[in-house]
Amino acid sequence: MIGVFDSGAGGRFALRELRRLRGDIDIAFLADEENAPYGERSEGELIRLVENDIKRLRSVGADKILIACCTASTVWDKLGAEYRRDTYPIIAPVARRALSVSRGGRIGVISTEATKRSGAFQGFIPDALCHAAPELVTLAESGACDGNLTESQRNIIKKAVEPFSGCDVDTLILGCTHFAYFEREIEGILGIPTVNSARVAAREMAKRVENEGSGKTVWLT
């Protein structure tokens, strides 16, 4: 069985996408809402939370685990060795996708504070323009999404992406899986392509797993 986890809404987006691509696999899903938002946690706290998420998913039989959260993925190389085994962080595939999409190599990253502070994306894209927008995590958790946004929610998004307008960024990484819900809105505002980390994560995992199971989903809370 595949395990998928995040602090909340971003993981649900990745799960939906993975399910769309692979109806045949069994998936255990964990949204650690009790400890959200992850983006405001220290590195030490994140390590403890991520190890615990992995432990919980393994306890219900998950043997390959997708870390459907950029913030949690930033501490992957600091986890104990047993927690790195068969667990898949998403920073590298997302950064690789952005490098292939970008025409001029001017890439922006919008993420949580913890992801920005970690320098994880800058490790792959040294001159990336990085900006944190924790208000979009709150917005996603409130249920807001593309196609269903009020004027004031639109304004919050517009303000959050302002640092990327008027500069020569040609591709924007939605470096927090929660931001997947605003992909269309952000592309509309900036007029540039985005790289949706939740979608990239799901696609990577879909390729990685063989036929296993009957398509059931086990929900952990």
Binding mask 72-111 for ligand DGL (x = CB under 6 A): ----------------------------------------
Q: Closest residue to ligand DGL, Cβ-based?
A: 39
Q: Are 68 and 91 in contact (CB under 8 A)?
A: no
How far apart (Å, rounded) are the C-alpha atoms in residues 84 and 96? 20
Q: Check binding of 71 to ligand DGL (CB under 6 A).
A: yes
- Please count the CA atoms within 13 angstroms of the CA of 4 that sit on its side-chain side: 30
Active-site residue, 69 included: yes
Q: Check binding of 133 to ligand DGL (CB under 6 A).
A: no
Q: Check binding of 137 to ligand DGL (CB under 6 A).
A: yes
Q: Check binding of 39 to ligand DGL (CB under 6 A).
A: yes
φ and ψ at residue 62, rounded to 5 degrees: -75, 130
Among 14, 18, 30, 69, binds ligand DGL (CB under 6 A): 69
**Binding piece for ligand DGL, criterion CB under 6 A, among 46-54, 56-64, 66-74, 211-219:** 66-74
Active-site residue, 130 included: no
Among 1, 2, 3, 6, binds ligand DGL (CB under 6 A): 6
The tokens describing 22, both together, are 């692979």
How far apart (Å, rounded) are the C-alpha atoms in residues 188 and 185? 5
Q: Check binding of 178 to ligand DGL (CB under 6 A).
A: yes
At a CB cut-off of 8 Å and minimum separation 6, what does 87 contact? 54, 64, 65, 67, 76, 79
How far apart (Å, rounded) are the C-alpha atoms in residues 45 and 68? 18
Where does this chain bind ligand DGL (CB under 6 A)? 6-7, 10, 36-39, 69-71, 112, 115, 137, 176-178
